Structure 1
C-alpha cells in the first residue's frame, strides 16, 4: 500500500505530543511538552493558534464538553484552560510536587473520566504511576512502578484499556469496566523488548486496531486487536511521539514529532522533526471522548 506522508504544520516542537481532533471545531490540538505550549490548527482556514505557559512542562491534554475549554496536565497538576480568555483554572494536584515526575499521556473514557500517568523526569527510575481522575477532580491511584507512562487508549466498546511503559518496551491491556471505572486483569498486549522499541502515544480506530507511534524508531505501527502487526509506516523523522485520527471523515492519521534528543547532524537530515505529519488511512477513527468537568453543566 502506497503511503503519502504530508507535513501539515511545519513546526519546531521540542516534544510535540498528544494530538486530538476536535469534532466541534474541526481542528487539531496538540502540545509541545518541553516548549510549554498548547497549539491548535484549523486545516480548512489554515489558522494556527498557540498558547504558551510559564511552567516547566505541559504534558497532558484532553478535550472537554465545552469546545473552548481543554484539560491540561501542567507539571503534576491538572487545570482547565479557557482558550478564549487565556485563563487557567486549577482542578487537582495528581502527585506531590516534590516528586521529580511530571504528568504525561492520558485519555478520557466514555463517562468523561480522565486516565493519566506520570513519569520520571530522569527517564530511568520507576517513580511514576497511573491514575483515574473523576470529573470533580478526585484522584484515584491505580498502580505504580512506572518509568514513562504512555499509550493510554480504549477499545471502541470501552471493554479494553491500553497502557505502555515506554522504557520497559511493553504495552499492556486491561479488562475495563466502564460503569465501575476499573481496569483489571493486566496482561501483555505487545512486547517490544526484542527490538528495544519505545511505544509512545496511540489511538484506536473504528475496527479496534491500535495505531502506536514508536519513538526513536521512526515509524508508526497498526496492531490488530490481538496484538499482531498489521501495518508499518516508515516516517522521515526519528522521533514520532503520538497519533490521532481526525479530519472531516476521521480518516487522516495525524502524527506529532519531536526534535528532542536529536543532534545537529540529525536535525539537518530531518527538516520535518518537530512538525505535524498527516497520512490518509482507510479505516476511520472514533470521536474523542471529553472530560465531564462539573462547570460545563453536564
Structure 2
C-alpha cells in the first residue's frame, strides 16, 4: 500500500461526499460550510468550484452523479437536480426535517438509482437525525421522499455491501455503525443491528493526546465487501471486514478525515476528504494540510459510484 498524496486544491472547511465520475474521469466533493461543490481533473491538476448562490445559498450536505448528466444535490432545505455543472437547480423534494435545527449530511445513490441522504441534528443533544430516500424513477409521478431510519444525532457512513443485501449507516455522535438487511426491489430495511461500536471519547481528551481513535464519519465499500470508514478526530481510516472486524488501519496526515471513496480506471485509488473547521490553532499549525483532499493506491478495488435515476 502506498502513501497519501495531496491533490492540488485549496483546503476545505469541511470536505465531504467525494465520488469518482467514471465518464468524466473526475473527482467530485463538497465543502459544506463554504457552500461549494468542487470537481478536479486529477491528471491535469485542475480544480473547478461551484458556489451555491441565492436563492440556493445553502449547505450542500452530499451530492451524487445523475444519469443523463449533472448532479443530484442535498441542500439544507431539500433535494435538487442540476442538469449540468453550474446550471440551474430544480427542487425535487422539500426536506421533511426542521431546517432551523437540521440539515442534510452524508448521502449517495443505491444501485437502482434512488438517492439516500441522512441528516445532522445541529444542537447534537438529541437523536433527531434520520435517513431519507428519494425515488424519482417513475417519470409520471412526483418524486417521493421517504423516511427510512432514525434515532441518530449525526447521520453518516452510508454504504451498501458488495452483494447489495446490507445497508450501513452510522451515528457519528454515538460512535456506532449500524447494519440492516436491505431488499432492493421493495426498498425495505429489516433486522437492524450494531455492525461496529467504537469507544467513546475519553472525558477531558484534547486533540494531540493519545487514547482516542476517533468516531465513524463517511465510508465506502470495496469489491470484497469490506467497509472503509474515515475516523473523525482519530487521524486514521479503518478497513472493516463484513463481520465488522478491523482488518487494517491507515494513518492520515490530518486529525480529521471525513470520507473516503474509490476512483481511477481500476477503482484502486482511495480518495479522502478532510476538515479544518473549528480545529485548534496548534493542530492546524502541526497539520497544515487539514481540509485537503488526498489519494492513495490500494490493493483491492472499490465499487463504482451509483447514478441517480431521474
Corresponding residue number in structure 2 for 1:296: none
Which stretches in structure 1 are left out of the alignment for 5+ residues? 294-298
Corresponding residue number in structure 2 for 1:221: 238
Does residue 139 of structure 1 match 2:157? Answer: no
1:5-30 Cα offsets, whole Å, 9 max, x none, are: 11023322000001000001011000
1:177-214 Cα offsets, whole Å, 9 max, x none, are: 01111111100100013557310000000000011000
1:76-134 Cα offsets, whole Å, 9 max, x none, are: 31011233452111111122445410001112111101121111112332221111211
1:155 to 151, 157, 161: 161
- Distance in 1 (alpha carbons) for counterparts of 2:99 and 2:237: 35
Question: For residues 222-261 of structure 1, what are the structure 2 equivalents within 5 Å?
Answer: 222-261=239-278
Question: For residues 71-220 of structure 1, what are the structure 2 equivalents within 5 Å?
Answer: 71-84=72-85, 86-135=87-136, 136-193=142-199, 197-220=214-237
What is the aligned-residue RMSD (CA, Å)?
Answer: 1.5
Corresponding residue number in structure 2 for 1:10: 9
- Distance in 2 (alpha carbons) for counterparts of 1:76 and 1:185: 31
**TM-score computed with the length of structure 1 as normaliser:** 0.93
Q: CA contact under 8 A between 2:213 and 2:233: conserved in structure 1?
A: no
- Distance in 1 (alpha carbons) for counterparts of 2:213 and 2:85: 43
- Distance in 2 (alpha carbons) for counterparts of 1:273 and 1:9: 13
Q: CA contact under 8 A between 2:11 and 2:293: conserved in structure 1?
A: no
Name the stretch that deviates more: 6-15 or 149-158.
Answer: 6-15
Corresponding residue number in structure 1 for 2:33: 34
1:52-89 Cα offsets, whole Å, 9 max, x none, are: 0132311111111123x101111131011233452111
Which stretches in structure 2 are left out of the alignment for 5+ residues? 137-141, 201-211
Q: 3-state SS of the aligned residue for 2:173?
A: helix
Q: 3-state SS of the aligned residue for 1:58?
A: coil
Q: CA contact under 8 A between 2:9 and 2:47: conserved in structure 1?
A: no
The number of residues matched between the two structures is 291
Q: CA deviation at 1:282?
A: 0.5
- Distance in 2 (alpha carbons) for counterparts of 1:211 and 1:236: 17
Corresponding residue number in structure 1 for 2:207: none
- Distance in 1 (alpha carbons) for counterparts of 2:85 and 2:34: 21
Q: 3-state SS of the aligned residue for 1:179?
A: coil
- Distance in 1 (alpha carbons) for counterparts of 2:35 and 2:66: 20
Q: CA contact under 8 A between 1:14 and 1:259: conserved in structure 2?
A: yes
Q: 1:94 to 1:277 in 2, by over 3 A?
A: same
Q: CA contact under 8 A between 1:76 and 1:101: conserved in structure 2?
A: no
Q: 1:131 to 1:280 in 2, by over 3 A?
A: same
